[in-house]
Structure 1
Amino acid sequence: MDKKTLSRDGTPIAYQRTGRGPAIILVSGAMSTGATVAPLAGPLGDRFSVVSYDRRGRGASGDTAPYAVAREVEDLAALVDAVGGEASLYGISSGGALVLEAAASGLPLRSVAVYEVPFALDDTGARERAEYTENLTAALAQGRPGDAVEHFLRLTGLAEEMIQGARNSPMWPGMEAIAPSLAYDDAVMAGGLVPRERLAAIGVPVLSIAGGASPEWLREAARAVAESAPQGTYRMLEGQTHMVDPNALAPVLAEFFLRNS
């Protein structure tokens, strides 16, 4: 990240900008930094000015207590100002939930696209999210970042043997370092259910995408997002999973953002 802008509360937000054209800001999900979504900048950079950034509490960005989702929306507002006062947003997973909240908050946006925001569709899913929130909160409060990461990996459906393998891998210290930000993503998910009333307040076009090889509930959640937004569109990418290929995703995003630029 080679640039920084200050959010409303004084938190420095690190970002990088590549390409030329209308601005698109890329928003990463849990356990990730701007580097996770930065590969999209290559295939989009010939038509757009693409911004990737480290969300607060991770990477090269700062953090200021107390946390609130509204502070992350203000981070996006600062980035929009930094790129000229108007932009489109793309967010993946829980980063998509942040994008949708930013759009509902009235930021000066042209359009927003999200990929597989893991919203629950029923009370069973909401109860799983509530249990995760309780376990995560306790682990972080008690200074057990490794356990917090484990709870998150279980929430994603990762098998126990793979979780233990990750815990014994060289990447684990880095995962523990970013573990406190899991509480931020959990807050962004706001209980986990599809926020239909909040989505109804979005006044710009919304593209909600899912992978054809992802679990059915993720595809249905993506469809529910599109149906709840007044200008929502649903799109499925054949053969893709939650770990979507940037080269498969970029043409879909480019077509949507060009149409709404």
Structure 2
Amino acid sequence: MEDNWTVQRVPAADGAEIVLHSIGAGPGIILVHGGGVTIEVYRRTARRLADRFTVHLYNRRGRADAAARAEPYDGEQDIDDLAALLAHTGARNVIGHSGGGFIALRAAARRLPIGRLALYDGAVQVDGLVWLDWLPGARAAADAGEIARALAITGAGVHPESAASRLPLFLRVAICRLFLRTSIGRTMGELLPTTLDESTLIHRHGGPAERWSGVEAEVLLACGAGGPPYFQETNEALAAVMPHARTLVVPRVGHDALNRAPKHLIDALADFFTAPVVSKPAGA
């Protein structure tokens, strides 16, 4: 279909504006993006869903065209902004990726009107399954202005399955210095303090899977077969306690699959959002 985006400015609870980028026709889906990036990396996914859905993208606070983020960061503004967009659009479908999945799951646990929630590699700390012992070292490097070193430590911590994570630190730092010369690298470098703040918040909200048992939405807990192994373990633990959740391991993809938008992932998301209703939507 034609690549026609509409842009609206939606009032937030604190009086700021949320810039909403939308494309497509059909039932609404709001995508909550992950840490370290902006909505630009999700436009391909939105386009590939746009023949069946109206897909809404927005930059979370402190990124690109979004308003400034409140400090200290506690994630409450993220939840309030998602609530404002659900009310404005009438959408009841949400996709959350990585750190955005954590925000979306917290919103669903608070009974925001989310009928169906698809998490891809949702960054949720359950039963200590995710090791975050790399955080202090990454934070110290970032505070010292050593962004390449901080990215190298973060990358290995988040992606222990990657071959690069097993390289000596000095080599990983050299690779990150080159990466920072690219467009996406510059964005990730600039947003690294925000990413570390989110990782710290996720760690602080860690605990048993049962804390999420009150989520009443239909939930798809998806992860990539080639991504960090802890996402599959986390999803299985969450699915065991959520009343309307199921897991999906997507073959031949990793953590960035929601950006790359392979057909088999897009089709799985479309099937989830169009399947017959099993449970009563939250807030109904």
Q: Which TM-score band (shorter chain)? A: 0.7 to 0.9
Residue 23 (str. 1) matches residue 36 (str. 2)? no
Instruction: Decide whether aligned partners of structure 1 residues 81 and 145 sit closer, same or farther in structure 2, where only a CA change above 3 A counts.
Output: farther
1:177 aligns with 190
1:75 to 72, 81, 88: 81
Residue 109 (str. 1) matches residue 114 (str. 2)? yes
1:201-216 paired onto structure 2 within 5 Å: 201-216=214-229
1:258 aligns with 274
Instruction: Decide whether aligned partners of structure 1 residues 248 and 2 sit closer, same or farther in structure 2, where only a CA change above 3 A counts.
Output: same
Per the TM alignment, residue 177 of structure 1 is displaced from its structure 2 partner at its CA by: 1.7
Residue 230 (str. 1) matches residue 232 (str. 2)? no
Instruction: Decide whether aligned partners of structure 1 residues 3 and 249 sit closer, same or farther in structure 2, where only a CA change above 3 A counts.
Output: same
Per the TM alignment, residue 103 of structure 1 is displaced from its structure 2 partner at its CA by: 0.5
Residue 168 (str. 1) matches residue 175 (str. 2)? no
2:264 to 243, 248, 251: 248
Cα pair 2:20 2:57 within 8 Å, conserved = yes
Instruction: Give the alignment's Cα RMSD to 1 decimal.
Output: 2.5
2:15 aligns with 10
- TM-score if structure 2 supplies the norm length? 0.80
1:48 aligns with 53
Structure 2 residues without counterparts, runs of 5 or longer: 1-5
Instruction: Decide whether aligned partners of structure 1 residues 192 and 151 sit closer, same or farther in structure 2, where only a CA change above 3 A counts.
Output: farther
For residue 60 of structure 2, what is the amino acid of its counterpart?
R
Instruction: Decide whether aligned partners of structure 1 residues 120 and 49 sit closer, same or farther in structure 2, where only a CA change above 3 A counts.
Output: same
Cα pair 1:116 1:221 within 8 Å, conserved = no
For residue 77 of structure 1, what is the amino acid of its counterpart?
A
Instruction: Decide whether aligned partners of structure 1 residues 122 and 190 sit closer, same or farther in structure 2, where only a CA change above 3 A counts.
Output: closer
Per the TM alignment, residue 112 of structure 1 is displaced from its structure 2 partner at its CA by: 0.2
How far, CA to CA, are the matches of 2:55 and 2:178 in structure 1?
A: 36
Structure 1 residues without counterparts, runs of 5 or longer: none
Deviation per residue, 1:141-175 (Å, 9 max, x gap):
55555544333223123434344222234134433
How many residues are matched?
Answer: 257
- TM-score if structure 1 supplies the norm length? 0.86
2:102 to 97, 105, 116: 97
- Higher helix residue share: 1
1:198 to 211, 220, 224: 211
